[in-house]
Amino acid sequence: MSEQATDREPRHPARRLKPVARILRGSGTDAERLLWSKLRAHYLDGHKFRRQHPIGRYVADFVCLDRRLVIELDGGGHAGVEQATADAERTAFLRAEGYEVLRFWNTDVLTNVDGVIAAILAALEAMPNRHPWHAGADRFSRPSGGES
């Protein structure tokens, strides 16, 4: 195999990020662990979230695929100009892919998790369900085979 072939970007960057996402899931911040305890297993009004989920060339902290909502948690390192620019590029990419993005500071999650949850719920309620299985159907039902 030639060197050129091995140096190319993979066709699907999310595949390349799966091992990175797996590592990130095991090394989350206190704020990520706290918020995940509120989002996991359909606890949040029945909405399913994934943690450290690859989307394109990024790994989203949390995502609800049915509503195409991404939740990003930012620590103190995100306060600088350089990181703020990178965050804006990331948000622009995710929005171009059809996702809405909510950002919260880690300190907000740790000191006011109920307020963060309320903001997430308000965003979810305002968004249409975009999953093809659920178009015009109950949230947990799948399309039937041949009923009219």
Output the domain CATH number for residue 83. Answer: 3.40.960.10
Q: What are phi and psi of 43, to 5 degrees?
A: -65, -30
Q: Which long-range contacts (CB under 8 A, 24 or more apart) does 138-144 make?
A: 139/46, 139/66, 140/46
The pLDDT, as a whole number, for residue 8 is 42
Contact 94, 121 (CB under 8 A): no
Note whether residue 148 is domain-resident.
no
Q: Is residue 136 part of a domain?
A: no
Per-residue model confidence as pLDDT tens digits over 29-66: 899 999 999 999 887 888 999 999 999 989 999 999 99
In a domain, 19, yes or no: no
Residues linked to residue 104 through DSSP beta bridges, in sequence order: 73
Structure tokens at 30: 């206190």
pLDDT tens track for 121-133? 999 999 887 655 5
Is 51 inside any structural domain?
A: yes
Does the residue 99 lie in any domain?
A: yes
pTM exceeds 0.95, yes or no: no
Q: For residue 105, tell me if it sits in a domain.
A: yes
Q: Say which amino acid occupies 51.
A: R
Residue 48 structure tokens: 């399913």
pLDDT of residue 23: 54
Range(s) of the domain holding residue 104: 29-128
pLDDT tens, residue by residue, 88-117: 999 999 999 999 999 999 999 999 999 999
C-beta separation of 25 from 65 below 8 A: no
Phi/psi at 133 (nearest 5 deg)?
-65, -30
Within a domain: 134: no
Number of structural domains (the chain) is 1
- The tens digit of pLDDT for each residue in 36-46 reads 999 998 878 88
Q: What's the token pair of residue 122?
A: 């308000």
In a domain, 145, yes or no: no
